[in-house]
Every structure is written in C-alpha cells, then in structure tokens.
Amino acid sequence: MTVSIVCLLLLPGLSAGCASRHQPTVVVYTSVDQQYSEPVLRLFAERTGIQALPVYDVEATKTTGLVNRLVAERAHPRADVFWNCEFAQTILLKEQGALAAYDSPSAEDIPQQFRDAEHYWAGTAGRARVIVVNTNLVKPEDYPASFRELLDERWPARSLAMALPLFGTSATHAAALYALWGPEVARRFYERLKRRGVQMVDGNSVVRDMVASGQARWGLTDTDDVAAGLRRGSPIAAVFPDQADGGEGTLVIPGTVALIADAPHPEEGRQLVDFLLSREVEGLLVQAGWCHVTLRKLDIAPAYFGDVQVKALRVSLDEAYQQLDRVKQELRDIFVR
C-alpha cells in the first residue's frame, strides 16, 4: 500500500518535516532553543500521533520577531501554541488579544505566582537572577548576600558589573523592583548605582565573562549564564541573593506556554499545551540543561544549583510587566543621557 506524503514547508521559518496527508498537526512558535525544544516536540508526536511543526525565532530579532508575527497574524492565525522562554512578551500578546484562555489541567500544581489569573498562559521551569562571583578573588565567607551590596562601599565600584537595565532580564529585574518597592524608591536605587560608578555592560554574558576573567569581582547575571561558565571550567560561583529569613528573594523568570486565539488546530493546540506544562517535560528540560530553576518539586535536580531551594521574589509578573515601559524610559534618562 502506498501512503501519500506531504512535505511541510508551509511557513517561512518553519522547521522542515514530512507528514502523511491525513496526519494531524500543530504549529508552535517557540523561542526555546532548537536543541532543547526539538526532542520534546518529537516525544509529543510519538505519544499522540500529532506532528508538532515548530517555527523558531530568528537570532537577530530574538523573541520580538515571533511576537510581532503573532500580532500581525491575529486576523488569520497560523500558529496554535506559543512556547516562550520568558514572560513579558507573552503578557504583551495577551494584551494584544492574540491569546486564548485555556485552564490546562497540567498547570494545577504550578504556583499561582507563575500562572495567569485568567488562564491565558502558565509558566514553565526557567532561570533566576543571581550574583556571579570570581572564586579566586572573593572568599566564600565574603560572598555578597544581596544585590543591594552593589551600593556597599566595601566593594570598589569598578570591581562590580551588571548589564545595562534597558533590555533583557536586567530590565525585567528593574521592572520587578519598581513593582515591589514602588517606582520612586526603585528609581533612586538605580540613580545611586549610576553615581557610584558600577560598571554597566552590554549583557549578562558579558558580566559573567568579566567576572571569570577577573575584570570584576562579582556582578549580576542569570543562572543560565553562570551554568555556561561552569561548564567551561571558569572560576566562578553563583550566589542566590536575599535568601535568608526575612529576605525578599530573587527574581525567577519562568518560561511560558499559551494557546493562540482562533488557532487553526485548537484541539491539537490544547494537547500540546498540556504536554509542555507537564511535570514530565519540566523534568526533561532540567535534565537537558535548558533550565536550572524549577517551579515544582521534581524527582530530578538540575545539574547546577540543584541543592538550592530558591526563594522567589514575591511580585506579580503582571505588575512587573506593567512597569517595563516606565523603567526603560526612566533608566534610559539615568544611564544614557
């Protein structure tokens, strides 16, 4: 018997694949790196018989390119699911009317802080803001315990580094502090950083490399950047800030999964959402090394930082998102003008 095969090259950016003419499919736009997302989507196909067709972000535009595409396609959606490596752009899509509410049973045990109250998205394992320390220059007993120590005079300002808080997770962290402390208090904190002369650089990986090379004693970055340095054997360590009793905790940045409004394959889309939000997939992503901070207790621990019970900053992700535009404007005035 001959089975008709159709090669699926339907969308610009679509990962090429072939499926039988009658095989059900689901299209997922994702900013999760292909080396980590592809095995998960392959397992979904094996389990369900539904072929997942991924559209990946273009490196030059990162998540923004996919988000712009989803907004542009609202009237005639091509995607069924959005699988994102952060939350702010997912909330933007909700505001733009590009997402559909879906209360996935797989999200029941995800902490409420990492779920949309109206069920438009739910979080997955992700990363956290940490202090990266040069272990040759700083003794363990002297490790900073809080990112507020960026203002502590015992540390020369030029020995400290952080990414300019106008983009990426550094801006998201600032927005979370605006939401938690109030805009006036948070803005004064960044004004003091500017006056003090803490080194402001182009990204979190730059901070890590400066610390690893000894150009800085310590700085602020994310767990994934520290893990990458540890894999290379760099003389660095991660400190999760503000974890002591009474401490505020550190910002945890989850990935997110959402169903697209008026998706062409809504049933298949819901099945994929359920799968991506499952404890099994969270464990697979941890095992693969894509994420180092889980939202739920799992039987498997991350290769790095697995012995740390992370206290998350108690701030609404929606409230942090609402502060982003103000943060970028005010901090641009502080650090660029």
Q: Note the pLDDT tens digit of each residue in 89-147.
A: 999 999 999 999 999 999 999 999 999 999 999 999 899 999 999 999 999 999 999 99
Identity at 48, one-letter amino acid code: T
Q: Which CATH number fits domain 127-251+320-335: 3.40.190.10, 3.40.50.1100, 3.40.50.300, 3.30.300.10?
A: 3.40.190.10
Residue 4 has pLDDT above 80, yes or no: no
Query: 144 with 218: CB under 8 angstroms?
Result: yes
Q: Note the pLDDT tens digit of each residue in 37-46.
A: 999 999 999 9
Torsion of CA 10, 12, 13, 17, to 10 degrees: 20
Which pLDDT value is given to residue 64?
81
Least confident interval from 51-60, 119-128, 233-242, 247-256 = 51-60
Least confident interval from 16-20, 163-167, 229-233 = 16-20
Q: Note the pLDDT tens digit of each residue in 256-289.
A: 999 999 999 999 999 999 999 999 999 999 988 8
Q: CA 286 to CA 237: how far, in whole Å?
A: 19
- Percent residues over pLDDT 90 in the chain: 82
- The three state secondary structure string of 80-129 is CEEEECCCHHHHHHHHCCCEECCCCHHHCCCCHHHECCCCCCEEEEEEEE
Which pLDDT value is given to residue 62?
60
Which pLDDT value is given to residue 291?
87
Give me the residue spans of the domains in the chain.
5-125+252-310, 127-251+320-335
Residue 7 has pLDDT above 50, yes or no: no
Q: How far is CA 266 from CA 79, 119, 270, 281, in A?
A: 10, 15, 6, 21
The yes-or-no answer to whether 5-125+252-310 and 127-251+320-335 have a common fold is: yes
Q: Phi first, then psi: what are they for 65, rounded to 5°?
A: -60, -45
What three-state secondary structure class fits 20? strand
Identity at 86, one-letter amino acid code: E
Q: CA 124 to CA 134: how far, in whole Å?
A: 30
Q: Note the pLDDT tens digit of each residue in 73-94.
A: 999 999 999 999 999 999 999 9
Q: Hunting for tokens 């209360």 — which residue is that?
A: 103
The CATH class of the 5-125+252-310 domain is alpha beta
